[in-house]
Amino acid sequence: MAEKKVFKHVLVGVDDSEDALLAFDYAIGFAKRRDAELTIVSVLEDHNLSVYQALDKDYIHGERADLEVHLQDYVKQAQAAGVEKVNALVTEGNPGEAIVKDVIPHAKPDVLVIGSISKKGLRRRFGSQAAYMAKYAPISVLVIR
């Protein structure tokens, strides 16, 4: 018989999309019910930057700082809901790859909670970040819709 998984550290990806907000709400309840640590991650996507913005280090640092401040709202919301240990981190790059290759090895969560769709319109047809993470993450992945 397979060993029962114990989830004591939950990682949730947020990007302010409707599905990501659903995933965040789910992750809060999931972490609270298990008395688990919650790590909230958001990815500063480099392909959203113009060439001039990418070359301007002050712009990139400003965007990252703004995102870090915004993540603190998520931290406060999780704490207000009763999650005792909450962390937040920002990384840069392609969201799926950054979370699978950088964040998971660094944060060492037991489970990843993500929304099923993060982009609107034509961009979402070119591949799903959720599908990438579900396929390549070395941990359990819950995709919320």
Q: Quote the domain boundaries for residue 102.
A: 9-144
Q: What is the pLDDT of residues 29-41, one digit of tens each?
A: 999 999 999 999 9
CATH number at residue 50: 3.40.50.620
Number of domains present in the structure of the chain: 1
- For residue 81, being part of any structural domain is answered with yes
Select from 37, 17, 8, 41 the least CA-distant residue to 144. 17
In a domain, 106, yes or no: yes
- The Cα 72–Cα 89 span in angstroms is 10
CA proximity to 131, closest of 143, 113, 119, 145? 143
pLDDT, mean of residues 119-138: 72
φ and ψ at residue 122, rounded to 5 degrees: -60, -35
Q: What is the pTM of this model?
A: 0.85
Residues 6+ apart with CB under 8 A from 144: 19, 22, 23, 26, 113, 114, 115, 116
What gap in Å lies between CA 57 and CA 78, rounded to an integer? Answer: 32
Q: Please give the structure tokens belonging to residue 65.
A: 């700082």
The pLDDT value given to residue 47: 54
User: How does residue 54 score in pLDDT terms, banded at 50, 70 and 90?
Assistant: very low
Whether 129 maps to a domain, the answer reads yes
Q: Which residues of 108-145 are buried (b: 16+ CB within 10 A; e: fewer)?
A: ebbbbbbbbebbeeeeeeeebbbebbbeebebebbbbe
Backbone phi and psi for residue 115, each to the nearest 5 degrees, phi listed first: -80, 155
> Quick check: is 2 in a domain?
no
Task: Pick the more confident residue, 46 or 86.
Answer: 86
In the chain, the amino acid numbered 109 is P
